[in-house]
A = this chain, B = another copy of it.
C-alpha cells in the first residue's frame, strides 16, 4: 500500500509557509568540510573538551548510580552545584529556583513559551542571537528592535522610549556578557539603567549568560545578581564543559517552576538523567575551577591573536571592539559592503567562513550588512592567523572589484 497521493493531502501547520532555514545550521555543515577554517560558530575548542574527566565521571556514574539510567526527577546534586556556580557569578539563589534544560536554547524556548503570547511583542537588540529570533517567530510576535553600540551594548534609551509609548512587551532579551554577536559586555552604567527601566515598566528581562564564565579580564556579575524576581537567568555548560550533553539551566522565581515543569514535560519529559548525573559527578571533583582558568587563558590568547591579525591585515576603515568576555569579535567593514556576498567568495575560493552580520537581524541595516561575526574559541592560533589572512585577501579583492563596478 504505497500511497503516493497521500502526501499531497497532508496539510502542514501554517508556520511552514513562512519558515526559513537557519544560517547557523548551514554554517555547521560547511564547518565540517575538510580544509575549511571556520570562524562561523561559537564552538568550544575541540582539543580542550575534557574527555578524560568525562570518562572518569561516566564510569563512576554507571558503577554507583542506577538512577542515572532511569527516568527520574532532576538531579539534586547538580542543582546544588549550579547554586554554587551562580554564587561564583555573584548570584544568590536556591536549588528550588534552578530549572534544568537541554542547554541554553531550550531554556530560551521554554521561557519564551512561559511569557509570550501569540502576536505579542518583545524587545531585543537589532542584532541578536538567531536561535532566539527563530523561537519568537513561531509566535508571530514583533521584535521591537533597539540599537546596540558596538562598545557599550544595548541602547537603553531606546528601550525606555519603546516602553514609554505604552506598549507592554512580554520581556526584554539580552546577553549582557560576551554579547552574541557583538562580543562585548553591556556597560555598567547601562546595566543599572536597564534594570531600572525593567522595573519601572514591570517588564522582565531574559538574561542569557552562556559566556559569563569566559571572562578574560575581570568577571562582571550578570544582571540577575542585582534583581531577584524580574530577571530570568539562562546558563549553560555547553561552552564551559561540553555542548554534547545538552545541559543548561534557568534561575527563576520558585512560583514559576511548576509552569516550566509543564512545558518541559510536554516538550521532552526531562533532561537526560545520564547527562545530569555525569555533569554533577564532574563538578564533584572540583575540576571546573582549573578548567575555567585554562579556558580563559587559552581563549584570551586566541582573542589576542585574532585582534593582532585583524590590525595587521584588515583594511583601513574596518572597526572592532576588544571583547573582555565570550568567544566573538564583531568586525564592521567600511559601509556599503555586504558581508553576505563576501562570504560566498571566501567560502568558495578561500576556504574560510564567518557569520555575516545579516544573519543576526531580520531587517539588517547597511551597517549590519557590512559587519561579520568572527569566532576565536574554536580555531587554533595558527588557523586564526591563516584564516584572517585569507579573509583579508578576499576583503581586498572584493573591495577592488566593487570599487570598479559599484562606484
Question: What is A's interface to B at a CB cutoff of 8 Å?
Answer: 1-16, 19-22, 24-25, 28-29, 32, 41, 43-44, 46-47, 49, 51-52, 54-55, 58-59, 62-63, 66, 68-73, 101-103, 105-106, 109, 113-118, 131, 134-135, 138, 168, 170, 195, 198-199, 202-204, 226-230, 238, 242-246, 253, 255-256, 258-259, 261-262, 265-275
Q: Are B2 and A228 in contact (CB under 8 A)?
A: yes
With known contacts A1-B195, A32-B73, A62-B58, A131–B265 Cβ distance under 8 A: yes
Q: Are A267 and B267 in contact (CB under 8 A)?
A: yes
Q: Are A243 and B10 in contact (CB under 8 A)?
A: no
With known contacts A138-B266, A267-B267, A230–B10 Cβ distance under 8 A: yes
Q: A24-B265, A105-B269 are in contact. List 10 more A-B contacts (CB 8 A).
A: A3-B199, A4-B229, A7-B253, A10-B115, A10-B229, A19-B262, A28-B73, A44-B70, A105-B268, A242-B274
Complex Cα distance, B102 from A204, in Å, reads 30
Complex Cα distance, B103 from A6, in Å, reads 27
Q: Are A115 and B11 in contact (CB under 8 A)?
A: yes
Question: Which residues of chain B are near A267, meaning CB under 8 Å?
Answer: 102, 105-106, 109, 267-268
Q: Are A202 and B6 in contact (CB under 8 A)?
A: yes
Interface residue from B51, B70, B199 paired with A6 (Cβ < 8 Å):
B199
Interface residue from B229, B259, B270 paired with A3 (Cβ < 8 Å):
B229
With known contacts A21-B262, A22-B262, A244-B272, A7–B229 Cβ distance under 8 A: yes
Question: Which residues of chain B are near A9, meaning CB under 8 Å?
Answer: 202-203, 230
Q: Are A3 and B230 in contact (CB under 8 A)?
A: yes
Distance in angstroms from A67 CB to nearest chain B CB is: 8
Complex Cα distance, B51 from A243, in Å, reads 23
Interface residue from B4, B230, B256, B272 paired with A246 (Cβ < 8 Å):
B272
Q: Are A13 and B117 in contact (CB under 8 A)?
A: yes
With known contacts A28-B71, A49-B66, A114–B12 Cβ distance under 8 A: yes
Complex Cα distance, B44 from A10, in Å, reads 35
Between-chain CB contacts (< 8 Å), 30 pairs = A1-B226, A1-B227, A2-B228, A3-B229, A6-B199, A7-B253, A8-B202, A11-B170, A12-B115, A15-B113, A19-B259, A19-B262, A20-B262, A25-B265, A28-B73, A51-B62, A54-B62, A70-B242, A71-B243, A102-B267, A102-B269, A105-B266, A106-B268, A109-B267, A134-B265, A135-B266, A243-B273, A244-B273, A245-B274, A275-B275
